[in-house]
Amino acid sequence: MHSSASLRRVASASILALALGASPALADNLREALASAYNTNPTLEAARANQRATDEGVTIQRAQGLPSSNITATHTEFIRQSANSFTAPERNLGVTAQMLVPVYSGGAIRNGVQAAKNRVDAGAADLRNTESTVFSQVVAAYMDVLRTEALAALANNNVAVLRTNLEATSDRFQIGDLTITDVAQSRSRLAVAEGDLQQAEANLIAAREAYIRLVGRAPGELEAPPPLPGLPDTVGEAIVSALENNPNLVAAKERAEAAGYDTKVAGAGRLPTVGLFVNGQYSDFFGTLGGPVAAQFVQRETTANAGVRVTVPLFQGGLPAARQRQAGARESAALEDVIAAERSVIAETRSTWSNWQAANAVIKSSQAAVEAAELSLEGVRAENSIGNRTILDVLNAEQELVNARAQLVTARRNAYVAGFNLLALMGRAEARDLNLDDGVVIYDPAVNYERVHDKIWDWDRDPGPQAKSTSTVDIPAPDATIGPQLLPGEK
């Protein structure tokens, strides 16, 4: 027969197996996970490539205001000539060279370039947002692995305790100390706990798969995350920082400013344009001009001309007005988007602050609940040993302790994730804020912009496109194996 003391030893051994203060060997830490995602995540790499594409908008707009030149060569065979023509040639080679120099375009090019620059700035803010979003997902995945490992360990511990409890109950039934009802209750709780363990292991595999998808490698034995730096003392402080630095809001403002320049570009369609031109022409009739009297005609000639071309629009069917009204409407929409982004940032920041505060409060209450549940379980087991408590009372006390520990683990995960999300909303959750520059090359979108914004050579090319992120095809499927655990928030 197993005594209540043996049950306590099993519970104590299981709790030690969680190793709240242990330091696992070959452990991964949160910084390494973030660095791996920064270097290999396809979402981040795609966002960087899209930003490089946005950079080219400035070069494309500026090219419209630069000189352009072309050469056109035409060879013509005159297959059938007029019967009345005695001097028509049989063939001709014509070569035309042309250069155009825009002088004035009503401000369309200047405003178009400025709009493109604002879109580059908006894209840089979008890239910041993608970076902080991916990092938030990595932090959540990291904490989910820690949480699900801890919950699986708790579920495994619960099964072990209930299995031992069932054995003890069965032994006491054999000697007539308990009834068949007590045995059935113990067996029922064990069956439920075994089902909970299967679900906990499935959740652990799913959490590890999410980690692999984001980080690009399988999780090892994860260390407890470090404290989050720079968390605000008040919600007002968080709001002020978010309104100044939130990348979504910054991007919306830049797009609204770009839309204002688009309206000016559309309005330029009704203004005159001025340009300079130089044309050169060469013609060769190969001795066929003039027919029988070809010797009297010059068979080759070269001409050139230059001038100023002024185009004054008089009537375009309302096209420029429609374009300006259209651009103005889009500018109004962009301005509304700024207000919407501002509202969203304020609401999300306040909500995330509330979630963070609530999770911290739940941690405190859960710690008290765990301590009380441990004391209660010990007392119920002692009272059961002298016949003052039923087996159902013991089972209920054990379940209350499991629930309290699970709530504590979840609260610690929620508090950390909410705190990081709060930093992301405040614009403080990017590589530059997380000390990832040690061993990681920080991607600076301004470097590519400076490289391409003033290029004018038509044959300039970059290396062929290729994927930079890593595949996870060769990473083995994770299982639900768990080692010594370090619960989120514990040291």
Tens of pLDDT, residues 313-353 = 999 999 999 999 999 999 999 999 999 999 999 999 999 99
Residue 464 forms part of a structural domain: no
- Clarify whether residues 329 and 341 are in a common domain: yes
Residue 45 forms part of a structural domain: yes
Q: What would the mean pLDDT of 157-161 be, rounded to a whole number?
A: 91
DSSP type of residue 269: G
- Clarify whether residues 284 and 379 are in a common domain: no
- Clarify whether residues 73 and 176 are in a common domain: no
CA separation, residue 342 to residues 125, 131, 245, 329, 473 (Å): 15, 20, 11, 20, 41
More reliable by pLDDT, 45 or 295: 45
Amino acid found at 26: L
The per-residue pLDDT for 295 is: 67
The per-residue pLDDT for 199 is: 95
- Residue 289's pLDDT band (cuts 50, 70, 90): confident
**Tally of domains in the chain:** 2
The answer to whether residues 132 and 453 touch, using CB atoms and an 8 Å cutoff, is no
- Clarify whether residues 182 and 264 are in a common domain: yes
The percentage of the chain sitting over the pLDDT mark of 90, rounded to a whole number, equals: 73
User: Is 388's pLDDT higher than 90?
Assistant: no
Regarding beta strands 68-77 and 300-311, do their DSSP bridges make them parallel or antiparallel, or are they unpaired?
A: unpaired
The per-residue pLDDT for 437 is: 74
Q: What is the pTM of this model?
A: 0.86
The per-residue pLDDT for 490 is: 47
Of the candidates 395, 376, 16, the one whose C-alpha atom is nearest the C-alpha of residue 193 is 395
Q: What is the C-alpha to C-alpha distance for residues 361 and 411, in angstroms, rounded to an integer?
A: 9
- Clarify whether residues 190 and 200 are in a common domain: yes
Residue 35 forms part of a structural domain: yes
- Clarify whether residues 362 and 382 are in a common domain: yes
Q: What is the C-alpha to C-alpha distance for residues 20 and 466, in angstroms, rounded to an integer?
A: 45
Of the candidates 125, 40, 16, the one whose C-alpha atom is nearest the C-alpha of residue 471 is 40
* pLDDT per residue as tens digits for the range 182-211: 899 999 999 999 999 999 999 999 999 999
The per-residue pLDDT for 169 is: 87
The per-residue pLDDT for 129 is: 97
The percentage of the chain sitting over the pLDDT mark of 70, rounded to a whole number, equals: 91
Cα Rg, the chain, nearest whole Å: 38
**Residues linked to residue 196 through DSSP beta bridges, in sequence order:** none
- Clarify whether residues 370 and 433 are in a common domain: yes
The per-residue pLDDT for 22 is: 34
- Residue 177's pLDDT band (cuts 50, 70, 90): confident
DSSP states of 406-463: HHHHHHHHHHHHHHHHHHHHTT--SGGGTTTTSSS----HHHHHHHHTT---TT--PP
* pLDDT per residue as tens digits for the range 476-485: 999 988 765 4
DSSP-based helix, strand, coil % in the chain, nearest 5 = 60, 10, 25
- In Å, the largest CA–CA distance within the chain is 137
Instruction: Pull the structure tokens for residue 240.
Output: 């002020």
Of the candidates 82, 31, 141, the one whose C-alpha atom is nearest the C-alpha of residue 291 is 82
Residue 386 forms part of a structural domain: yes
Domain stops at, among 312, 340, 365: 312
- Clarify whether residues 302 and 347 are in a common domain: no
Residue 480 forms part of a structural domain: no
The answer to whether residues 304 and 279 touch, using CB atoms and an 8 Å cutoff, is yes
The per-residue pLDDT for 483 is: 65
**Sign, CA torsion 435/440/442/443:** negative
Q: What would the mean pLDDT of 258-271 be, rounded to a whole number?
A: 95
Instruction: Pull the structure tokens for residue 255.
Output: 């797009």
- Clarify whether residues 200 and 143 are in a common domain: yes
H/E run at residue 165: helix 108-174
* pLDDT per residue as tens digits for the range 49-74: 999 999 999 999 999 999 999 999 99
* pLDDT per residue as tens digits for the range 220-250: 999 999 999 899 999 999 999 999 999 999 9
